[in-house]
A and B are shown apart, each in its own frame.
Chain A
Amino acid sequence: MSLLWIVFLPLLGACIPLLLARTPRWIKTVTTAAIPIVGLAIMGGYVGQTISGVIPQQSIAWLSHIGLNLAFRLDGLSLLFVSLILGIGVLIIAYAHYYLSEQDNDSRFYACLLLFMASMLGIVMADNLLLLWVFWELTSVSSFLLIGYWFHSSDARRGARMALATTGCGGLALLAGILLLGHIAGGYDLDTVFAAAANIQQHPWYLGALILVLLGAFTKSAQFPFQFWLPHAMAAPTPVSAYLHSATMVKAGIFLLARLHPVLAGTEWWFYLVTFTGLATLLVGAYFAILKHDIKGLLAFSTISHLGLICMMLGIGTEAAVIAALFHVINHACFKAALFMTAGIIDHESGTRDMRKLNGLLRYMPLTATLAMILAASMAGIPPLNGFLSKEMFLAESLQQHLFGGLSWLIPVLATVGAMLSVAYSIRYVHDLFFNGEPKELPKTPHDPPKGMLVPVALLVVLCIAIGLAPMWFAEDILTAAVSAVHGPLTALEIGLWHGWNWPLLMSAIAVVGGAVIYLARDQLFSFNRQFEHRDAKHIFESTVQRLSDGATAVFDRIDTGSLQRYMAILLTTVIILLLVPLIDLTQLFGGRKQLPIDVVSMVGALLIIFSALGVAILHRQRLLALLMLSVTGLMVSLAFAHLSAPDLAMTQLVVEVVSIILMILALFFMPQRTPRASSGHRVVRDIILSSLIGGLVASLNYALLTRSFDSISDYFVSNAKMLGGGNNIVNVILVDFRGFDTLGEITVLAIAAAGIHKLLNKLKPFMPSSDVDGRPWHHIRHPLLVTTVAKLLLPLALMVAVYILLRGHNMPGGGFIAGLITASAMILQYMANGVDWVKDRFNVNYQSLMSFGVMISLFTGLGSWYFERPFLTSWFTHIHWPVVGEFEFATAMLFDLGVYLTVIGATMMILTNFGKMTTRHRPTQEGN
């Protein structure tokens, strides 16, 4: 259980500094630092087990169906990294306590730092490749927050964006690589993937997967040619840089190479890609480090160079090389974290990081200077410090390479050059900063910082010396465990300061002498470099991003022209193409089913529909006329339903027709009465062609369909309507019983539409014409007597009919929908005939409540069946003998239909009355109607 907590403690703990935002800083520092300390303690409990070779593992199911589980492990490699992340993390937190100024938001800093720590821990402990990737992306995000911590500075924002974009793209490549690997291996758990190593290396996708994974690792670890983001990430506060460059972030890429070493390494591709990328990075980074005048810039490029070294060792991949790589991970983390801390101290106390101004600081800050000199010596690889040990191993290993054939001598030579450059920039760091005359134009007079700020540095310095003097005592166990996890059981581990007079020692000596010479000749180097055009990676990066976004905008502009007509035309053309294909496949349009004879009624009705539809299309610019014609079409359609044996449809269509035409006439009041002639002849022709094509296709399709026989699935409904649903009207039984769930959804949609309309009308300032289109003022007699009288007479009649229709619906044409619409139209008539005030005085119902009530009734009718332990919406019916009425059927479906009825009334009335009220003093406002 507690293995999990190593990761989740800092993840959850990220909230703590935010909760403590108002407390003094030392409380925040102590609580934040406590988290990694607890983590270290938990880890300590597992150390014995890991070193003895039993890997602690723990897994909790998460998204098992895609192979993603919360699976963690703590093998030797994880142990090494976890101890670095947590140990250096504690020191960074302590250091940041002094580093951050009063104005800085320390809660946010600590929270982001913990988040970063947690995601890093997640990477190194993940026992599942997908989980590893999730944390990998989390480090990208949290490092973005940390690098951009001082978001008021544009450098910080740009640096953060660059880091996010680069590592984010790499992360996507990594995901693709992981998916390939998982696919080949048949699972994402590390053990599964490790077991499939042989399969993976022989698989045709191996090279693709390798390149994708390497892209992820190289972008993260700032390997050439992706090194450009790392120097810009130093716009972050120095504690972040120290953490980012030593134990986290850039080490994630290295970790990934080590983690997947058993799976991917050993092939020629791996060797060439990784080794030479590492070698190139080593040289490029070291060269640029010498040229930087900014202390943090020098250190940043030095990090790149050292990462290249580690990468190269992993590429070589022999046991000794892996030992050197992992040992250097530890050593580099120790001295680089501390070096960044000293850089931060110098910046903090002197106000600048420019080495052309900072000179002779030894006199001003002797303690800091002493510590920094030891650290720089370790970076340069001077005995007896830890840096020397791993550098010797690296040089020794470079001598063993013969894969380059006759040119293999190049590798040790280039390795020596790299070491030489490393010595040169280390000398520069020490000599320029602490000797070399007096400081120039410093904003502040530097002095040693508070002791607390030096303590983390001093601890790391002690560690550097101690590891250098007694490497086996400190590192034997952890290295043995880690190398076993990367390269298999260890055969020999022997790290010592003295191996006798041999080649590596000679190369080291050459490197030290050569480095000193390079440093002495640095002015020539600077002037040599000045002749190259200075191109800032930031500008190149940003112009690339700009070009990409311009390209995207250009494409988008072409697609998104803002013309609805154009979108519709494209959409409809697609429809035509999709319809054409199956129709062309038909050998014959006529399906062979016998046609019904045409009777006179059908003929007349069809002609009326055709002519009124054409009339609407032709006369659409005269809107009222077009609307009247549309009502003819609608009316004829409802008659068509009646004629073609669909009484329910006919009634529904009829009433809907009435209501929607009233609504549209009402809307027309607020709209222009006529459409100006806007479309060009060219466009009209295009539209006619498009619409005729679609019309023709739909007609053919319909004809083909109608003349073919078919097997309906309706037989079930027909034969069971009476027995299971208790009704003779099958359509109604389907609606309220068999498919009641659909109907419930449908009335909900209706209610939502009504609510949406209510909202749309809220605070609407409609365009209110004072006269009609010909300039005649509107008539002021609002309620004609004849209409008023008829409407009053009609209301009880209509209501009675509605109730009758509702009740008979189960057995005869009718039901909730139709009854609701009849009631609604009778009510609307009252509004039209007598006005809003008149109705409100007599019948003040909140239609919203009515509508909601209706949906509730239907819903609870459905839920009621749960009480009887039946599935949702199971219906029940019985026949009751009433004294006067006689036999009466009661079904729960009727209750459901009542809900439908009320919803339909509520929604329809809400739509129409709200809209109708626009012209009156009851106009809808925010407070409701």
Chain B
Amino acid sequence: METLYAITVGILTACSIFLILRGRSFPIVVGITMLSYAVNLFLFSTGRLQIDGAPILGMVENPTDPLPQALVLTAIVIGFAMTAYAIILAVRARGEIGSDEVNDLDTHEQSEGHR
């Protein structure tokens, strides 16, 4: 189970990093969102995995570690705020400069093959 979990987190991270390395704003925002899943899963797992438990007293005999859960809960909400901000920034940039490219091609020479 732990192996599967780790592999899943790894693949999520890899895919999100790949998206973040794209040259357009939309895939980057998608990548950031996905990276926050990966990070949340990782943080959550620091409390170790347990099935059929809950961090609730009286409901189960041995409650799970509540601290990572509390941290991740706030992380999810903050992640939402960040995603929202990033996506609106992308829309604004599209509206202002008419393109969703993230590289500043006007002022600098571009070494890589773009466009």
Q: Which positions in A face B, CB cutoff 8 Å? A: 557, 560-565, 568-569, 572, 593, 595-599, 602-603, 606, 609-610, 613-614, 616-617, 620, 623, 626-627, 630, 633-634, 637, 640-641, 643-649, 652-653, 656, 659-660, 663-664, 667-668, 670-672, 675, 678-680, 682-683, 687-688, 690-692, 694-696, 698-700, 702-703, 705-707, 710, 712-714, 717-718, 721-722, 728-731, 734-735, 739, 742-743, 746, 749-750, 753-754, 756-757, 760-761, 764-767, 811-813, 817, 904, 907-908, 911, 915
In the complex, which of the residues B38, B41, B49, B100 contacts A672, with contact meaning CB atoms closer than 8 Å? Answer: B100
20 additional A-B pairs beyond A609-B11, A649-B40, A700-B10, beta carbons within 8 Å, are A562-B104, A564-B103, A596-B1, A653-B40, A656-B77, A663-B87, A667-B29, A680-B112, A687-B18, A688-B18, A690-B21, A695-B14, A705-B45, A728-B56, A750-B77, A757-B85, A764-B95, A767-B98, A904-B77, A915-B88
Query: Nearest chain A CB to B115's CB is how many angstroms away?
Result: 7
List the A side residues contacting B6 at CB < 8 Å: 699-700, 702-703, 706
Residue from B3, B23, B29, B92 within 8 A of A664 (CB atoms): B29
The 5 closest A-B pairs by CB, nearest first: A699-B10, A695-B14, A562-B104, A645-B53, A730-B66
Interchain CB contact under 8 A, B55 and A568: no
For B55, give its contact among A626, A687, A730, A750 (CB under 8 Å): A730
Q: How far is the CB of B35 from chain A (nearest CB, A)?
A: 10
Q: With A and B bound together, what is the CA distance between A605 and B60 in angstroms?
A: 24
Chain A residues within an 8 Å CB radius of B57: 718, 721-722, 728-730
Task: List chain B residues, Cβ under 8 A from A717.
Answer: 66-67
Expressed in whole angstroms, the minimum distance between the Cβ of A753 and any Cβ of chain B is 4
B15 adjacent to A613 (CB under 8 Å): yes
Q: Shortest distance in angstroms between A773's beta carbon and chain B's nearest beta carbon?
A: 13
Given A670-B94, A702-B9: A731 and B70 interface contact (C-beta under 8 Å) = yes
Q: Is the interface of A mostly helix, strand, loop or mixed?
A: helix
Question: Do A652 and B73 contact each other (CB < 8 Å), given the known contacts A760-B89, A766-B91?
Answer: yes
Q: Are B17 and A645 in contact (CB under 8 A)?
A: no
A562: which of B7, B52, B88, B103 is its contact (CB, 8 Å)? B103
Q: Closest CB-CB distance, A366 to chain B, in whole Å?
A: 66
Measured in the bound complex, the distance between the Cα atoms of B22 and A735 in whole Å is 36
* Contact partners of B79 in chain A: CB under 8 A: 656
User: Complex Cα distance A617/B35, Å?
Assistant: 12
Q: How far, in whole Å, are A760 and B5 apart by their CA atoms in the complex?
A: 39
Q: Contact at B70–A565, with CB atoms within 8 Å?
A: no
Q: For B8, what are the chain A residues with a Cβ–Cβ distance below 8 Å?
A: 606, 609-610
The answer to whether B1 and A602 touch across the interface, beta carbons within 8 angstroms, is yes
Q: List 8 A-B contacts (CB under 8 A).
A: A596-B1, A610-B11, A633-B12, A646-B69, A667-B90, A679-B23, A679-B113, A764-B91
Q: How far is the CA of A596 from the CA of B54 in the complex (A)?
A: 17
Q: Count contacts on B: residues with CB < 8 A to the other chain.
A: 96
Which B residues lie within 8 Å of A915 (CB)? 88, 91
Specify which chain B residues have a CB less than 8 angstroms from the CB of A663 in the assembled complex: 83-84, 87
A649-B73, A722-B57, A730-B63 given; A637·B22 CB < 8 A: no
State how many angstroms separate the Cβ of B96 from the closest Cβ of chain A: 8
Find chain B residues with CB under 8 A from A659 CB: 80
Query: Is the beta-carbon distance between B13 and A694 smaller than 8 angstroms?
Result: yes
Provide the residues of chain B in CB contact with A626, threshold 8 Å: 27, 30
CB pair B81–A750 under 8 Å, yes or no, is yes
| Docked-complex contact A757 and B37, CB < 8 angstroms | no
A762 → B minimal CB distance (Å):
10
Residues in A neighbouring B54, C-beta threshold 8 A: 645-647, 813
Task: Collect the chain B residues with CB atoms within 8 Å of residue A731's CB.
Answer: 55, 66, 69-70, 73
Complex Cα distance, B90 from A670, in Å, reads: 10
Contact of A678 among B14, B19, B87, B114 (CB under 8 A): B114
**Is B56 touching A730 in the complex (CB atoms < 8 A)?**
yes
- Across the interface, name the chain A residue whose C-beta is closest to B110: A563
The residues of A that contact B83 with a CB separation of less than 8 Å are: 660, 663-664
Query: Judging by beta carbons under 8 Å apart, are A706 and B5 in contact?
Result: yes
Q: Are A572 and B100 in contact (CB under 8 A)?
A: no
Distance in angstroms from B46 CB to nearest chain A CB is: 7
Inter-chain contacts of B30 with A (CB < 8 A): 616, 620, 626-627, 630, 664
Taken together as a complex, chains A and B put the C-alpha atoms of A691 and B113 apart, in Å, by 20
Chain A residue, CB-CB nearest to B72 = A649
Cα A748 to Cα B43 with chains together (Å): 23
Are A766 and B94 neighbours in the complex by a CB distance under 8 Å? yes
Q: Which residues of A contact B34 (CB under 8 A)?
A: 613, 616, 630, 633
**Docked complex Cα distance between A418 and B82 (Å):** 73
- Write the nearest CB–CB distance from A575 to chain B, whole angstroms: 9
Q: Is the CB of B18 within 8 A of A691?
A: yes
* B91 interface neighbour in A644, A670, A702, A811, Cβ under 8 Å: A670
A640 partner residues in chain B, CB cutoff 8 A:
41
Residues of B within 8 A of A572 (CB): 17, 21
Bound CA–CA A602/B41 (angstroms): 14
Task: Assess the A617–B15 pair: CB atoms within 8 A.
Answer: yes
State whether A660 touches B80 (Cβ < 8 A): yes
A606 to B37, CA, bound (A): 13
Q: Evaluate whether A653 and B76 lie within 8 angstroms (CB atoms) in the complex, with A678-B23, A717-B66 already known.
A: yes
A702 to B9, CA, bound (A): 8
Closest Cβ neighbor of B28 among chain A residues = A564
In whole Å, how far is B48's beta carbon from the nearest beta carbon of chain A?
7
Please, which residues of chain B bring their CB within 8 A of the CB of A700? Answer: 6, 10
Contact assessment for A729 and B56 in the assembled complex, using a CB-CB cutoff below 8 Å:
yes
Q: Which residue of B lies closest to A671 (CB)?
A: B26
User: A746 CA to B38 CA in the complex, in Å?
Assistant: 21
B77 touches A671 (CB 8 A): no
* Interchain nearest-CB distance for A922 vs B (Å): 17
Flag if B100 contacts A699 (CB, 8 Å): no
B26 touches A668 (CB 8 A): yes
Would you call A749 and B95 a contact (CB within 8 A)?
no
Q: Which of A637, A645, A764 contacts B37 (CB 8 A)?
A: A637
Q: How far is the CB of B107 from chain A (nearest CB, A)?
A: 6
Q: How many Å from the CB of A178 to the closest CB on chain B?
A: 42
Which residues from chain B contact A683 at a C-beta distance below 8 Å?
112-113
Given A710-B48, A728-B56, CB of A561 within 8 Å of CB of B108: yes
Residue contact B70 to A734, C-beta cutoff 8 Å? yes
Contact A712 B2 (CB under 8 A): no
Cα distance A358–B88 when bound, in Å? 72
Minimum Cβ distance to chain B for residue A556 (Å):
11
Check A718–B11 contact: CB distance below 8 A.
no
Within the assembled complex, what's the spacing in Å between the Cα atoms of A596 and B11?
20
Contact of B73 among A598, A645, A648 (CB under 8 A): A648
Cβ–Cβ < 8 Å partners of A907 in chain B: 81
Which residue of chain B lies nearest to A668 when distances are taken between CB atoms in the complex? B26
Contact of A753 (CB < 8 Å), options: B72, B81, B113: B81
* Contact present for B24 and A678 (CB under 8 Å): yes
Alpha-carbon distance between A649 and B83 when the two chains are bound, in angstroms? 18
Chain B residue, CB-CB nearest to A751: B81
CB pair A614–B15 under 8 Å, yes or no, is: yes
Question: Given known contacts A671-B91, A728-B58, A760-B92, is B84 in contact with A660 (CB within 8 Å)?
Answer: yes
Cβ of A746 and Cβ of B58 under 8 Å apart? no
Known: A630-B30, A649-B44. A698 touches B9 (CB 8 A): yes
A765–B50 Cα distance when bound, in Å, is: 50
Residues of A contacting B27 with CB < 8 Å? 620, 623, 626, 675
